[in-house]
Structure 1
Amino acid sequence: MKKSVLITGAAGFLGSHLCDQFITKGYRVVAMDNLITGDLKNLEHLFPNPDFEFYHHDITKYIHVPGTLDYILHFASPASPIDYLKIPIQTLKVGAMGTHNCLGLAKDKKARILVASTSEVYGDPLVHPQPETYWGNVNPIGPRGVYDEAKRYMESITMAYHTFHKVDTRIVRIFNTYGPRMRLNDGRALPAFIGQALRGEDITVFGEGTQTRSFCYVSDLVEGIYRLLLSDYTGPVNIGNPNEVSLRSFAEEVLALTGNKVKIVNRPLPVDDPKQRQPDITLAKKLLDWAPVVSRKEGLEKTYNYFRSLPEAEWHRQPKEFLSSK
């Protein structure tokens, strides 16, 4: 029988690429999403596949999946500032209650579970680059705290289930990732820059643009996650591209790619915005024999071509309006 995997947050950017990966690898995929930030368009190509099924469900409620499960990948969560600042309560709930429910399901099904943490657990880091041994510099009551602390709690309860209930767990700390199926209006640097260029708007860089990020193409990230899931390591592992770039330089790269003649303009830096972000991937190289292979130039071209191929109405679509954060 084929092995089965449940992927939460499956209609999102990363979740949908993970669904593709596991279908390609010959798994039966159970996808779950409440569609608060996800989009079924990301999965519609999989609906005819007999090894794929989709559940429209909020994982902060009790999760029921019939039959056996070999693996669970918990990727449900708003991941962009424009989302989690608008729906802070849901963000905290999916990190806490949603993770609790997924871990309970893993315990019941005797499934291995991998949870998606983030480089944001390091906050505005005082150590550079960031190794897994660094505990972070996070403001728990700042505006970004709803996301940062939700992920830090996720890691804590995952390790508690591992040590107390002997659940087979994995933790991936994901650094900035990009590629097709991102939303142009999700507030993150790359889609924001490309969206502004496509619309002929000036490109907005916050602060002086000296803050750094390290961008990993989605296919590299998915391969790293897949290898981590099948490994024997239960501690957190950084998966990201260590090729660091300032946001000012990154905006200039996007401009050069698009051939647009708009200006780069500066706006005030958001509260608690990290000044540096670069993964130390020594552990991933050693444990998983993994390192990114897609250059930023190649990844940017693929991503730009994807966005440019969308209907022009998509370039102008406004961010989602959410219901109250009950």
Structure 2
Amino acid sequence: MIPDGFSLFRNDLDYIGAGVRPLRGALAGASILVTGATGFFGMWLVEGLLWASTAHDLSLRVTMLSRDGPRFLAGRGRHLGVHPNLTVLSGDVASFDDHGHRFTHIIHAANEGAAGHAASRHIGTAIGGTRHIIDLAAAHGTEAVLLTSSGAVYRPLDPPSSGASAEGPAGAADYTVYRAVYAEAKRMTETMLAAGSEQHGFRAAIARCFAFTGAYLPLDGGQAMGNFVGDALAGRKIGVAGDGTAVRSYLYGADLAIWLLTVLVRGKSGRPYNVGGDEAMTVAELARLVSAAAGDTGVEIRGAAQPGATADIYLPDLTRSAGELGLRAGIPTRDAIRRTLDWYTVKRR
């Protein structure tokens, strides 16, 4: 069931509400700005916050930043128009006007890669947006700013001996290649936010995010999970472009929202926390899980294994997130896949 004013399933919203309960004292009466609010991260966060606010009587005010607010509210965000404690601002993340709004917390989830910029502009966009957020936080006396960084900061690098990336030095890497632009942008914004926090006194919360699934998962973004879910929804065989040996883990959107809000409220300033799933599997295994959840559509491995090749491993070490913040993935990958397929099936009716 999807409640009025929301697009997420009721059981997911209740799950987020329960996960946010320990944060009630910090979030009560807060005014929270979310950039990148119309994307995958943003929609889970905004709807989760609105639901938790009602469930726990938090009196939250949530402000979404959209490139075109009226268009968003007339389109896929039209269900949100009934919330009196929600404001949608229009503008570019590097220059938008706050229109007099004051923010106790900022979640900077804008994805510069989604803007379609060439590599020469990509880093400039990331820096400009983060600089504007720091200036806003300084002007507003903001308590905390959460940056949704990426596990890409660890790449390209020599494969970690443990098979998972920890929050320490990134290892040997060639930072000059084109594919490193996204990673370099995230590294720089982390440094900027940490420096800004020391200068202006707000807390810099940093979440290094890995791979996810759930409602609003992009089905054409070039990521394995989205591609596989798109194939399954179309009734096609799940197509694996490579040899299927790459290793990944996935966190469900409801867990993601809880983890990000926990890092926002409890994360130590300037200290990054990995955010991701704890069930490692090969891409071929993932494809078979999606196929089974969709009624056995079949799997086609299109690449051939290369003798002596090192497996592509993209996994978070979750020791710090669990040990310092008590974070655990509560929804298993198999269930997360089923929920993702169910949501898209309902929304397409």
What amino acid is the match of 1:248?
A
Contact 1:243 1:278 in 2 (8 A): no
Q: Distance in 2 between matches of 1:66 and 1:212?
A: 46
Contact 2:262 2:325 in 1 (8 A): yes
Give me the CA root mean square deviation.
2.6
Contact 2:66 2:89 in 1 (8 A): yes
| Offset at residue 78 of structure 1 (A) | 4.6
Cα distance, 1:74–1:137 mapped onto 2, change above 3 Å: farther
Alignment pair present for 1:194 and 2:232: no
Cα distance, 1:209–1:74 mapped onto 2, change above 3 Å: same
| Offset at residue 67 of structure 1 (A) | 3.2
| Offset at residue 119 of structure 1 (A) | 0.6
* TM alignment of 1:60-79, pairs within 5 A: 60-78=94-112
Contact 1:117 1:171 in 2 (8 A): yes
**Alignment-derived partner of residue 203 in structure 1:** 238
**Alignment-derived partner of residue 181 in structure 1:** 216
| Offset at residue 279 of structure 1 (A) | 1.2
Cα distance, 1:172–1:261 mapped onto 2, change above 3 Å: closer
Identity across the alignment (%): 24
1:47 alignment partner, SS class: helix
Structure 1 unaligned runs (5+)? 313-326
Contact 2:36 2:111 in 1 (8 A): yes
2:313 alignment partner, SS class: coil
Cα distance, 1:61–1:158 mapped onto 2, change above 3 Å: same
**Alignment-derived partner of residue 259 in structure 2:** 224
| Offset at residue 85 of structure 1 (A) | 6.9
Contact 2:34 2:106 in 1 (8 A): yes
Alignment pair present for 1:108 and 2:139: yes
1:7 alignment partner, SS class: strand
What amino acid is the match of 1:227?
T
Cα distance, 1:94–1:261 mapped onto 2, change above 3 Å: same
Contact 1:178 1:217 in 2 (8 A): yes
Normalising by the residue count of structure 1, what TM-score does the alignment of the two structures yield? 0.85
Structure 1 range deviating more: 130-139 or 152-161 = 130-139
| Offset at residue 75 of structure 1 (A) | 0.3
What amino acid is the match of 1:10?
A
2:302 alignment partner, SS class: strand
The partner residue of 2:268 within 221, 233, 240 is 233
**Alignment-derived partner of residue 61 in structure 2:** 28
Contact 2:68 2:90 in 1 (8 A): yes
Cα distance, 1:278–1:16 mapped onto 2, change above 3 Å: same
Alignment pair present for 1:49 and 2:76: no
The partner residue of 2:313 within 276, 284, 291 is 276
Cα distance, 1:159–1:113 mapped onto 2, change above 3 Å: same
2:63 alignment partner, SS class: strand
| Offset at residue 260 of structure 1 (A) | 3.9
Deviations 1:191-215 (A, max 9, x none): 2111112223343323211111110
What amino acid is the match of 1:160?
A
Deviations 1:240-270 (A, max 9, x none): 112111101101111111124444132599x
| Residue-pair matches, total | 305
Cα distance, 1:89–1:204 mapped onto 2, change above 3 Å: farther
**Alignment-derived partner of residue 257 in structure 1:** 293
Deviations 1:141-192 (A, max 9, x none): 4343231111111111111112333332111111101101122222211121
Deviations 1:37-72 (A, max 9, x none): x96555332221110010121112254341321000
**Alignment-derived partner of residue 144 in structure 1:** 179
Q: Distance in 1 between matches of 2:302 and 2:72?
A: 31
**Alignment-derived partner of residue 8 in structure 2:** none
Structure 2 unaligned runs (5+)? 1-27
The partner residue of 1:8 within 10, 19, 35 is 35
Deviations 1:99-139 (A, max 9, x none): 11111111111112111101111114422311111325554
| Offset at residue 5 of structure 1 (A) | 0.5
What amino acid is the match of 2:44?
H
Q: Distance in 1 between matches of 2:68 and 2:228?
A: 25
Normalising by the residue count of structure 2, what TM-score does the alignment of the two structures yield? 0.80
**Alignment-derived partner of residue 123 in structure 1:** 155
Alignment pair present for 1:59 and 2:93: yes
Q: Distance in 2 between matches of 1:65 and 1:89?
A: 31
Cα distance, 1:261–1:67 mapped onto 2, change above 3 Å: closer
**Alignment-derived partner of residue 305 in structure 1:** 342
1:183 alignment partner, SS class: coil
Question: Which has the larger share of helix?
Answer: 2
Cα distance, 1:4–1:84 mapped onto 2, change above 3 Å: closer
